[in-house]
Structure 1
Amino acid sequence: MQKLLLIILIVLGLSITGKPQYITNVLEYNPAPGQLINEAPWGTPSAAQSIIGGIDGHLSLGAWGGYVVFEFASAVENNPDNPYGIDFTIFGNPMPDWSEPGIVWVMKDENNNGLPDDLWYQLAGSDYHFSNTIRNYEVTYTNPDQDSAVDVPWNDNLGNSGYILANSIHTQPYYPLADSFPNISTTSYQLNGTRIQPEVDSTSFMVKVLQRGFGYADNQLKRTEPWTTPDNPYTTEIENSGGDGFDISWAVDELGNSVVLDEIHFIKVQNGMLADGSWLGEISTEISGAVDVSPNTNISGVNQMVVIRDLPPIIREEYIELEAMAFENGLLLSSENIVWSTTSTGASIDEENVLHLTQSGTIEITATMESNPEISAMATATVELSNSINSFNLKDRLQLYPNPAKEYFIIEDNGLLEIRNQLGQIIIKEHTNKNDRINISHLTNGIYLVSLNGRTVKLIKQ
């Protein structure tokens, strides 16, 4: 009898574990304002329930910072025997050349109380290490308090402000309504997290936000069953289930240090972009479900990747700083040397990773791992330089030298000098006299904006 019972338990165990493990519970839905919020089927509490039990749901997180927290019936193991090391897959509704990337956070139930009240760890996707990514970012949304769609004001902790723009297609209020979201203040509320800054290409009718390398929800297209067999996140092909696979080993703490987690119990998906998509409305992460991945040591593939930070769709400057990262199993190879190249006429890349341009046209650049030349990435852009660029009147331009500079530069005039980084933050502000030496030895290498008396010029720090 005991032997028979053991056999029955084993069979039942196999049948239970053999079924896909989908989301079983949505613990919190806290959207940012957006065109789909307060409207079925994407932006209501019932929409949050639609992602339970499968991958055909429909949930919008609204603008930057909006998030959802969910769990599976059992903990998700960090299992190296999973295909490509992927532990779970999240599905959304992206399109070709249209990503609305959501940042994913995970939590282990350290205190075993069944509640998401321990530490959140971010899964560091491909954009996490770029210099224009903003961590500890905060945005406050203010309720315009109207009965129909109007622009929703926002301001951030860097001194910037703007609006989540209303459109004529979705006419309901975009700020979360109290009857559906009683935990959100009716006057204003603040969201915090990490902001990534992919380029939005609205130069043509088909607005584009290119797919991120890896590590973001609502990024890669859904393909086909079995949903428990993930795609290789380190290639651009969609070969298995599609969607976006995540490895718990990508977890980092608030300082960016790698964190070892054997399993996790809670997952948070949060919109990582604060941007407008023209006629498509604000960039708003949507998800349709998630699934735990099953172990399978027979599935493996490329585990290295190079990711280039987006180029502007149209480049109107003579030079632009390039940035690329190399990864292995989704972890940054900080010591890997990236080799840049271009065959485009009128384009060259110097040893400081600065792209120099002398004529208009289409350019193509390639970034390659020095240690493994088979791993590379390519990016393209349109260059539109002014016809007068070579005969520019120097009297109209702020003069400083040397440029590029290493330790200091000399300015040509008196006045209030401001130096901004690529995030627009003022990092140096001081009164200067003509021919003063401005110390920049403490700045990291890169491109900065130097302003004086209403004139601005780019400075290359080497």
Structure 2
Amino acid sequence: MRYNSFVCALAALSVTACNTEHGPDDPGNSKWISRVVEYRPAPGQFINTFQGNATAAEGIVGGRNGCLSLGGFGGYVIFEFDHEVRNIDGTDFVIFGNAFDGNSEPGIVEVSPDGNVWYRLQGSEDGAAGTLQDYTIAYTKPAQTETAEDVPWSDNRGGRGTVRTVTYHTQPYWPLFLPGNPQELSFSGVRLPDNSSWSESGNKYVQTAFAWGYADNWSADYNEMVGNDPDTRASNKFDLDNAVDRDGNPVVLTAIRQIKVYTALNQWVGNGVGETSTEVCGALSLSADL
């Protein structure tokens, strides 16, 4: 069901009529994100910068106008289009990141038909060694948030650590703009295996890409075009046919209304790289004109 059809159904309860035909003042649906529903990042080195605040979240609306950092594991953004994304043959939508060869910061993608019930889109690391289901992490706000400070975390597997500061990001890493001034942030989801290793030949850390199914991930089809739309290049491609429920059972989705992306690694990389944080730089629907 298209959004304008939904609005017309509501209009039937009022005296206002609704015309579903596109006119000169109604150019049709946009293929770009129309609204950020929620931005709730985890602590990270880009939080409270131009890549990690409320203004940055609005930057992914309407095109490719910037990149939004989700911070450490679990940090997320939820967005939607001005229409339902339909399940068509092949790719249904694409998500843009800033991945390149040797620098993948994979994020898991979930979809919802109603904004309440969510389904995960499978990726290549489902069932792989090191993939943790039902992983939960809790971050604790540092005592001072005037400048950068390590942010402690603990998880439901007995792990403890910190989101450590890096030299060139001196602002506070705790998301100070969140409503309610939370003293703790908790996130749950699937944690992917660490993907960082030291390259002797390159004299640097390399964050290896996973094969498929994740945002901000240098996958084999990253630079391919879909739907004869050149704007779909340099993106990760997603198919609603890969949706599964919490138990990993396949589900059939004909259309969805909201998309969620969250950082799926809890990993700190040395040599000044810092925590792994997924970036979202926009998204595009392949069913805007359907």
Contact 2:83 2:288 survives alignment (8 Å): no
> What's the CA shift for 1:274?
0.5
CA 1:242–1:230: 2 relative to 1, 3 Å: farther
Evaluate the alpha carbon distance shift between residue 206 and residue 294 of structure 1 in structure 2; reply closer, same or farther with a 3 A threshold. Answer: farther
Whether the 8 Å CA contact 2:41–2:76 is kept in 1: the answer is yes
Provide the aligned length of Structure 1 versus Structure 2. 264
Tell me the C-alpha RMSD between the 2 structures. 2.6
SS of the residue corresponding to residue 198 of structure 2 reads coil
Q: Is the Cα–Cα contact under 8 Å of residues 129 and 193 in structure 2 kept in the other structure? A: no
Instruction: Quote the offset at 1:241 in angstroms.
Output: 1.2
Shift in Å at residue 242 of structure 1? Answer: 2.4
Secondary structure at the aligned position of 1:189 is classed as: strand
Aligned partner of 1:172 in structure 2 is 171
Matched residue SS, 2:246: coil
Residue correspondence of structure 1 range 101-120 to structure 2 within 5 A: 101-109=106-114, 116=115, 118-120=116-118
2:80 corresponds to which residue? 71
CA distance in 1 between counterparts of 2:26 and 2:141 reads: 51
Q: Residue 217 of structure 1 aligns to a residue in which SS?
A: coil
Matches for 1:141-160 after TM superposition, within 5 Å: 141-146=139-144, 147-160=146-159
Moved over 2 A (4+): 8-17, 202-206, 220-224, 226-231
Distance in 1 (CA, whole Å) between partners of 2:287 and 2:132 is 34
Query: Counterpart of 1:97?
Result: 102
Distance 1:250 1:228 in 2: 19
Post-superposition offset of 1:123:
0.4
Tell me the alpha carbon deviations over residues 97-140 of structure 1, each in whole angstroms, 9 at most, x when there is no partner: 1100010000002xxxxxx2x21100011112213211111001
> In structure 2, what is the equivalent of residue 198 of structure 1?
194
Between the aligned residues of both structures, percent identity stands at 39
Question: What are the residue-to-residue correspondences of 1:373-452 with 2, within 5 Å?
Answer: none
Change over 3 Å in CA distance of 1:198–1:154 after alignment to 2? same
Q: Using the alignment, how far apart are the partners of 2:26 and 2:227 within structure 1? A: 16
The one-letter code matched in structure 1 to 2:33 is I
Q: Per chain length, whose mean CA-contact separation is higher, i.e. which structure has more relative contact order (CA < 8 Å, sep 6+)?
A: 2
- Give the corresponding residue for 1:271: 263
Q: What CA distance in whole angstroms lies between the structure 2 residues aligned with 1:13 and 1:125?
A: 41
Q: Does 1:27 align with 2:37?
A: yes
* Letter in structure 1 aligned against 2:268: D
* Contact persistence 1:149–1:166 (CA under 8 A): yes
> Who is 1:244 aligned against?
236
Residue 120 of structure 2: SS of its match in structure 1?
Answer: strand
Q: Which runs of 5+ in 2 are unaligned?
A: 1-19
Match of 1:181 among 178, 182, 190: 178
SS of alignment partner, residue 207 of structure 1: strand
**TM-score, structure 1 normalization:** 0.54
Distance in 2, matches of 1:69 and 1:174, equals: 21
Distance 1:14 1:24 in 2: 15
* Residues 5-31 of structure 1 deviation map (CA, whole Å, 9 limit, x = unaligned): xxx9478699635xx511000010000
User: Taking structure 2 as the reference length, what is the TM-score of the superposition?
Assistant: 0.84
Conservation of the 8 A alpha-carbon contact between 1:228 and 1:294: no
Q: Deviations over 1:192-249 (max 9, x none)?
A: 111001331134433211111111001138658x786479xxxxxxxx6121010011
Q: Distance in 2 between matches of 1:131 and 1:13?
A: 54
CA distance in 2, matches of 1:215, 1:79: 17
What residue is the counterpart of 1:286 in the other structure?
A: 279
Distance 1:42 1:193 in 2: 23
